[in-house]
Chain A
Amino acid sequence: MATVEIRNLRKAYGALEVLHDISIDIADGEFVALVGPSGCGKSTLLRCIAGLETIRSGEIRIDGRVVNDLAPKDRDIAMVFQNYALYPHMNVAANMGFALKLSGRPKAEIEERVGKAAAILDLARQLGRKPVALSGGQRQRVAMGRAIVRDPKVFLFDEPLSNLDAKLRVAMRAEIRELQQRLGTTTIYVTHDQTEAMTMADKIAVLNGGRLEQVGAPLELYRTPANLFVAGFIGSPQMNFVAGDLARKANADTIGVRPEHLSVGRDGDGWRGRVISAEHLGSDTFVHVEVPEAGRLTARTVGDMPVAAGDDVVLTPMAGYLHRFDGDGQAL
């Protein structure tokens, strides 16, 4: 277990700077998710921490020790890759024990640690199999097993669930979180899926265009986004943004309201509009409404809401849930 401190990190490929002045503090045993759209630099940041990429300037400390110039193997980290990166010619046991073998641990110790990790991950019966004979979920577990047998100071996950189907992804999400809590190892987890980040992480760091937009607890980011980007990125369906007169009335350049904070009624005070479409999901209904003075807005309401395209409705923002932003997109 260890803390991770990143100070003023900059990364460039030639003249092109891809990470700009990133600073994050990660506490001992904390689960931090790095989220952002494709190309925002989240995987690059993780690879910098792993030592797979060199940095232009700044400092990376793991457990108080500056690791900038250390090789990946000397950083005491373990990484789970998006495509698992299992060694295809080795069986599960050999895959999991490879790092221990390289470090010269006795055979008995390797077997014991691999066995223990296999038991935790429910892989005991697969130890003799090659990766090709495993399902996607099992391969994912082996990749995690390879990380945990080393008992590293930090786990690094690079979009580990993106190759799995939706159902398995949800199951593995819970498994990884449970495992991390059980082991208490500091974890940095890269994902482009904000739901994954919200459900798993103690803290989320949102990146955009190589810049750190905001770091905070999931609900903190949801409730008080620092800017328009974070407000739009966190939450699904995404926050509705309204500019113009409605925003000016609230002394802002842009106002934002989440779909779940818009009540849908037939009359009353609020924003009048016409339903464009209604998505009935059973548990919820997403109502897309064209409001003349605000544009197209989405409201999230109860599953059995009797609403259909063409209906006239009134959308009312719930008191206290309106987000205000200035001309630079920063929260007011």
Chain B
Amino acid sequence: MSDLALSSRKPAATLNGYRIVQSISVFVIALVVISPLFMLFIASLKDDRFQILADMGSFRAFWVDNPTFNNFREVGNFAGELAFGRYLGNSLLILGSTVSLGLVINSMAGFILAWGSLPGRALILSVIIALYVIPQESIIMPLLIIVSRAGLSDTFTAQILPFVASPLYTFLFYQFFAQLPKELYEAASIDGASIFRTWWSIFMPLSLPALATVSILMGIETWNQYLWPILITQTDYARPISVAIATFFGQDSIFWDRAMAASVLMMIPILVFYLAFQRWFISSFVGSAVKG
């Protein structure tokens, strides 16, 4: 065997070893991520809430002897004053409105920052980036006062409007639009398109990856809102599912079985939402990786 043949075998062996380590690492990470979800799903199929508690901390948490959908059937009876479906509907209304308005507002702002003739653009961008680092919790009390004084307490508007404009999503759109060729904007302006028409007819259709990314991130953020809805809703009228689930955790007893089933039900819409946009979400990351 020639030296060349010998030397060419060694990297292949290293590569295989590397791949095995890589595969094991991916498997372990996947296990860590998936196991709580799997445990949640298994627990939702268990009829006895005390058994669920007893199984936690052992491998029994990942196994069910007599699976049943009773918990799912009974979920509606325990979730606050309204039917469980109504809370789900509230959450979907808040999600849909926040995301659709958020896409329009943030993409418009990002577009103007990228292509508009805006005085002090660099300063505005710096302020937007600075705003992003401020945690939402730190401004929640002033926000609560503003919303209450505006007479919006206990409304859907109070749960939608404050979260529509976001420095992070405006910046994401800004970055995406700024990467598109300048000539597209110029060609549109020569063709007679107004700045609004250029945004709507040229740049928005080319922004599916950015739209998907913002939809998913914004959707998850909105769906998982808990602190703000608790503070701003006094009745069940506009209460989202995340708050409704908390009613399973009573002062005297915790209905683990129904809480688990409700949590599974709460996950389904956001999972469907994610799957709907996932193709472009992934392609946006791949695209940015290729461009370097």
Contact = CB atoms under 8 A, between A and B. Distances in A.
Contact of B191 (A52, A89, A99): A99
Contacts of B188: 87, 98
Nearest to A78: B190
Contacts of A102: 191-193, 197
A246 to B, nearest CB: 49
Contacts of B197: 102
B184 interface: yes
Given A87-B184, A102-B197, A79 B190 contact: yes
A103 interface: yes
Contacts of B184: 85, 87
Contact of B192 (A52, A99, A146): A99
A73 B189 contact: yes
A103 B192 contact: yes
B135 interface: no
Contacts of B292: none
Interface in B133-187: 181, 183-184, 186-187
Contacts of A52: 186, 189-190
A102 B200 CA distance: 13
Q: How large is the interface on A (under 10, 10 to 19, 20 to 34, 35 or more residues)?
A: 20 to 34
Interface in B182-221: 183-184, 186-193, 197, 201-202, 205-206
Nearest to A150: B191
Contacts of A78: 190
A85 B192 contact: no
Contacts of A89: 205-206
A85 B181 contact: yes
B186 A73 contact: no
Most chain A beta-carbon neighbours within 10 Å: one of B187, B188, B190, B201 = B190
A207 interface: no
A88 B206 contact: yes
Interface string A46-63: 000011100000000000
B231 to A, nearest CB: 43
Interface string A189-216: 0000000000000000000000000000
A72 B183 contact: no
Nearest to B184: A85
B202 A71 contact: no
Interface in B262-291: none
Contact of A71 (B181, B189, B201, B205): B189
A165 to B, nearest CB: 21
A77 B192 CA distance: 11
A85 B197 CA distance: 17
Given A83-B183, A85-B183, A72 B189 contact: yes
Contact of B190 (A73, A87, A88): A73
Nearest to A74: B192
Contacts of B181: 83, 85
A81 B191 contact: no
A166 to B, nearest CB: 24
Contacts of A72: 186, 189-190
Contacts of B192: 73, 99, 102-103
B128 to A, nearest CB: 25
Given A83-B183, A85-B184, A50 B190 contact: yes
B183 A73 contact: no
A78 B190 CA distance: 7
A104 to B, nearest CB: 10
Contacts of A77: 190
Contacts of A98: 188, 191, 193, 201
Nearest to B202: A87
B187 A85 contact: yes
A79 B205 contact: no
A2 B213 CA distance: 48
A54 to B, nearest CB: 10
Interface in A82-112: 82-83, 85, 87-89, 98-99, 102-103
A51 B189 CA distance: 10
Nearest to B205: A89
A51 B186 CA distance: 10
A103 B197 CA distance: 12
Contacts of A146: 187, 191
Interface in A23-69: 50-52
Nearest to A152: B190
26 contacts: A50-B186, A52-B189, A71-B189, A72-B189, A73-B189, A73-B190, A73-B191, A73-B193, A78-B190, A79-B186, A79-B187, A81-B183, A82-B183, A85-B181, A85-B183, A85-B187, A87-B202, A88-B206, A89-B206, A98-B188, A98-B193, A99-B190, A99-B191, A102-B192, A102-B193, A102-B197
Interface of A: 50-52, 71-73, 77-79, 81-83, 85, 87-89, 98-99, 102-103, 146
Given A52-B189, A73-B193, A98-B191, 7 more contacts: A50-B186, A51-B190, A77-B190, A85-B183, A85-B186, A89-B205, A103-B192
**4 pairs of A and B residues whose beta carbons are closest in the complex:** A85-B183, A73-B192, A99-B191, A85-B187
